[in-house]
Amino acid sequence: MSEAALALPTTLAAPAVVAGAAPLIRMEGVTKTYDAGELAVQALRGIDLAIEKGQMVAIIGPSGSGKSTLMHILGCLDAPSSGSYRLGGRDVSELSGFQLAAIRNQKVGFVFQTFNLLPKASLLRNVELPLLYAGIGGAERKEIAREALKKVGLVERAKHRPSELSGGQRQRAAIARAIVNGPSLILADEPTGNLDTRTGLEILELFDEMHARGETIVIVTHDPRIAERCGRVVQIVDGLIEDDRLLSGDAAPRPPSHPPARLAGVSPESEAARS
Ligand SMILES: Nc1ncnc2c1ncn2[C@@H]1O[C@H](COP(=O)(O)OP(=O)(O)O)[C@@H](O)[C@H]1O
Ligand SMILES: [Mg+2]
């Protein structure tokens, strides 16, 4: 049996819709066309996607394939052109921009490649902002924001401005801002794209910790090492899902790494004994 064949039992196709409790996310037939007259671009061409609470999902695919567009719709930054999207059981596909903003502030935490922190505000102020929008008062707001900064190991930098920090620290602050509201969904669009490899791995550790605490996380990435640490990998090509795989360790914070390497040491006898 070839090594590739041996590796097969460790992955299985993820069903688009899972039986049992309603998934946190359910998209059916979602399309998105950016209208520029004759130059209209159909960025998504019919996405069916269900994501369970507590899953950590990687979205991969070539540049221009629709990954960011999908994230914007998942995060209620934008509405689909057609199709349905239910978030936490609620149909959000036909809400107005104002209604979407309210849901976004309550339910979604975003992490971007470029951090998107306010340069003139302290880290604490940056992390407080979603709470301010949610109408939480000053003292309580500071307390919750400090807790979020603690979770990412930055509480001692609370008074610093983003420009006084390294790229990795800025991204950690952005993660604190994303989780400060206790969102039901954390979305990260190429969160390590502006970081060196080592710093990127540190950021990844943070996502692993959040996953271990039960958070639902969707990460767009070009980096195969990140994809391999997610329990599920969804590949988008040209506005469609081309592949959707659960890695065998989906329930665990980290799937087993490198199945072919692990199986390389398996002798034909022990392999036969297992099957
Ligand atoms: N605001 C926009 N207006 C017009 N076209 C857009 C807009 N955003 C994205 N596109 C187009 O939609 C397609 C998908 O883009 P995007 O979702 O950003 O892909 P990815 O994140 O996979 O690189 C691309 O052809 C892109 O040029
Ligand atoms: Mg993108």
Q: What is the pLDDT along the chain (275 residues), one digit of tens a residue?
A: 444 443 333 455 555 444 557 899 999 999 999 987 788 999 999 999 999 999 999 999 999 999 999 999 999 999 999 999 999 999 999 898 899 999 999 999 999 999 999 999 999 999 999 999 899 999 999 999 999 999 999 999 999 999 999 999 999 999 999 999 999 999 999 999 999 999 999 999 999 999 999 999 999 998 888 999 999 999 999 999 999 999 865 444 444 343 333 333 333 334 344 43
Pocket test for ligand 1, best of 31, 41, 221 (most atoms within 8 A of CB): 41
pLDDT given for residue 109 in this prediction: 96
Contact yes or no for 177/146 (Cβ under 8 A): no
**Rounded Cα distance, 33 and 16, in Å:** 22
User: Which residue minimizes the CA distance to atom 24 of ligand 1?
Assistant: 64
Q: The tokens of 220 are what?
A: 């767009």
pLDDT given for residue 27 in this prediction: 98
List the domains of the chain with CATH numbers. Answer: 53-81+95-248 (3.40.50.300)
The most distant pair of C-alpha atoms in the chain lies apart, rounded to whole Å, by 66
- Which ligand has the nearest atom to the CA of 113? 2
Q: Give 52 Cα–ligand 2 centroid separation in angstroms.
A: 23
What's the alpha-carbon Rg for the chain, to the nearest Å? 20
pLDDT given for residue 260 in this prediction: 36
The pTM of the full predicted model, rounded to 2 decimals, is 0.84
User: Which residue minimizes the CA distance to atom 5 of ligand 1?
Assistant: 34
pLDDT given for residue 12 in this prediction: 53
Q: Which amino acid is at 50?
A: A
**Rounded Cα distance, 112 and 171, in Å:** 8
Q: The tokens of 51 are what?
A: 């994501």
Q: Give 222 Cα–ligand 1 centroid separation in angstroms.
A: 16
Return the closest-CA partner of residue 130 out of 148, 114, 113. Answer: 148
At 265, phi and psi to the nearest 5?
Answer: -85, 0
Ligand 1 pocket check for 43: Cβ under 6 Å: yes
DSSP class of 246: E
Contact yes or no for 192/200 (Cβ under 8 A): yes
Q: Give 240 Cα–ligand 1 centroid separation in angstroms.
A: 13
* H helix or E strand, kind and range, residue 271: helix 268-274
Q: Give 64 Cα–ligand 1 centroid separation in angstroms.
A: 6
Ligand 1 atom nearest the C-alpha of 66 is: 17
Ligand 1 pocket check for 63: Cβ under 6 Å: yes
Q: Give 195 Cα–ligand 1 centroid separation in angstroms.
A: 23
At 69, phi and psi to the nearest 5?
Answer: -60, -45
Contact yes or no for 209/15 (Cβ under 8 A): no
**Rounded Cα distance, 100 and 135, in Å:** 17
**Rounded Cα distance, 269 and 275, in Å:** 10
Pocket test for ligand 1, best of 30, 31, 32, 34 (most atoms within 8 A of CB): 34
**Rounded Cα distance, 275 and 190, in Å:** 40
Ligand 1 pocket check for 157: Cβ under 6 Å: no
Q: Which amino acid is at 239?
A: G
**Rounded Cα distance, 56 and 58, in Å:** 7
User: Which residue minimizes the CA distance to atom 4 of ligand 1?
Assistant: 34
